[in-house]
């Protein structure tokens, strides 16, 4: 076999190989890689062309012709493939592949519940106000008619903050044990009429269990003007609870004691699980305790600088997690704070 024959055969084989490679290309870059490999300066055809000088005239003619045929043929196929790829850009897109899900974030269930609560008070004219989580003893207790050494302080057992108090005359710094101190802070700087709702975190050194957490959320409410009555309180809370739990929700106001209200009440709703018959959700009582409320105590008005003879108002407070647990059937408060996505993604 002569040298030029083998060069011709080799180029024929290379053309077949290049055609197979071309059929696999999906982009202009892949096409260029094939061109460089088979037609570039380091390709086999370039080598063949370089050795032409050492061949006999007959061999040279034969090998030169093969090399030119190879180049022309491959260039034509490259061009055809380029056109085909251009005409069909979607050929690279496999529409039968499963879609890629977009991970979507969502609001935490406690945030969702807080927003649902606030939204029900907005049409009644209640504006949203926030207050500090690191609070002074005076606002958390004294101004709310919770005297020092009074047993009612124990029910609001507290985390004290080690940092020095910014206002020592108003006592030590602590993590607020309820949102009620914001009532006083707002009355201090504003005149009635007032209608506010106050969402926020509160802290109590309770050991963790299915219904206790050292941090949880409350929504506080306060309405003050010159004639707000207990009837207004009942009307507002009834409308709120029916908005939250459904229009047929029955409510019950049960006498209770809070130092900052007089008279005070706890509000129950008829248990939705058993409709009042008594079940494990309501502890066989048929009723679920939802919130505390009452008419603002004269001493609280005095502490805030209001004249109790000239104003009247009501206040209320509720636990957000408790409401979220009831509306979603969650049995353990700790689930809200463990950040397990399998739980959070259900809301």
Interface residue list for ligand DAH (CB under 6 A): 178, 180, 220, 258, 261, 292-294, 315-317
The verdict on whether omega for the bond into residue 263 sits within 30 degrees of 0, i.e. cis, is yes
CA end-to-end span of the chain, whole Å? 79
43/261 with CB nearer ligand DAH: 261
Minimum distance, C-beta of residue 119 to ligand DAH, in the bound complex (Å):
20
66/158 with CB nearer ligand DAH: 158
14/241 with CB nearer ligand DAH: 241
64/298 with CB nearer ligand DAH: 298
66/180 with CB nearer ligand DAH: 180
Minimum distance, C-beta of residue 110 to ligand DAH, in the bound complex (Å):
16
Minimum distance, C-beta of residue 205 to ligand DAH, in the bound complex (Å):
14
Q: What gap in Å lies between CA 341 and CA 93, rounded to an integer?
A: 33
Minimum distance, C-beta of residue 104 to ligand DAH, in the bound complex (Å):
35
199/292 with CB nearer ligand DAH: 292
Q: What gap in Å lies between CA 219 and CA 198, rounded to an integer?
A: 5
Taking the mean position of all CA atoms in its chain, how far away is CA 136? 31
Minimum distance, C-beta of residue 300 to ligand DAH, in the bound complex (Å):
9
48/259 with CB nearer ligand DAH: 259
Q: What gap in Å lies between CA 236 and CA 120, rounded to an integer?
A: 10
Minimum distance, C-beta of residue 315 to ligand DAH, in the bound complex (Å):
3
Minimum distance, C-beta of residue 322 to ligand DAH, in the bound complex (Å):
11
């Amino acid at each position: 076999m002569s040298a030029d024959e083998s060069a011709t055969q080799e180029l024929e084989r290379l053309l077949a190989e290049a055609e197979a490679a071309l059929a696999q290309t999906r982009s202009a870059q892949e096409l260029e890689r094939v061109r460089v490999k088979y037609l570039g300066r380091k390709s086999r055809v370039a080598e063949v062309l370089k050795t032409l000088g050492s061949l006999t005239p007959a061999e040279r003619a034969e090998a030169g012709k093969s090399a030119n045929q190879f180049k022309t043929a491959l260039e034509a196929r490259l061009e055809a493939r380029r056109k085909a790829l251009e005409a069909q850009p979607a050929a690279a897109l496999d529409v039968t592949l499963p879609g890629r899900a977009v991970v979507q974030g969502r609001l935490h269930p406690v945030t969702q519940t807080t927003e649902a609560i606030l939204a029900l008070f907005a049409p009644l004219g209640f504006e949203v106000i926030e207050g500090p989580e690191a609070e002074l003893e005076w606002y958390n207790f004294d101004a709310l008619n919770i005297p020092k050494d009074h047993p009612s302080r124990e029910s609001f057992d507290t985390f004290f903050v080690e940092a020095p108090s910014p206002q020592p005359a108003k006592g030590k710094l602590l993590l607020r044990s309820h949102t009620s101190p914001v009532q006083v802070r707002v009355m201090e700087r504003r005149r009635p009429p007032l209608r506010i709702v106050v969402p926020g975190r509160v802290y109590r050194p309770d050991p963790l269990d299915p219904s206790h957490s050292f941090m949880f959320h409350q929504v506080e409410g306060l309405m003050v003007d010159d004639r707000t009555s207990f009837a207004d309180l009942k009307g507002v809370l009834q409308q709120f609870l029916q908005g939250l739990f459904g229009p047929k929700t029955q409510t019950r106001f049960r006498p209770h004691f809070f130092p900052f209200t007089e008279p005070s009440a706890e509000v129950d709703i008829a248990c939705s699980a058993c409709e009042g018959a008594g079940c494990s959700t309501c502890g066989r009582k048929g009723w679920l305790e939802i919130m505390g409320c009452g008419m603002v105590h004269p001493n609280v008005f005095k502490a805030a600088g209001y004249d109790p003879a000239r104003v009247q108002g009501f206040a209320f407070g509720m636990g957000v997690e408790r409401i979220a647990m009831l509306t979603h059937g969650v049995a353990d408060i700790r689930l809200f704070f463990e950040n397990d996505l399998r739980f959070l993604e259900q809301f």
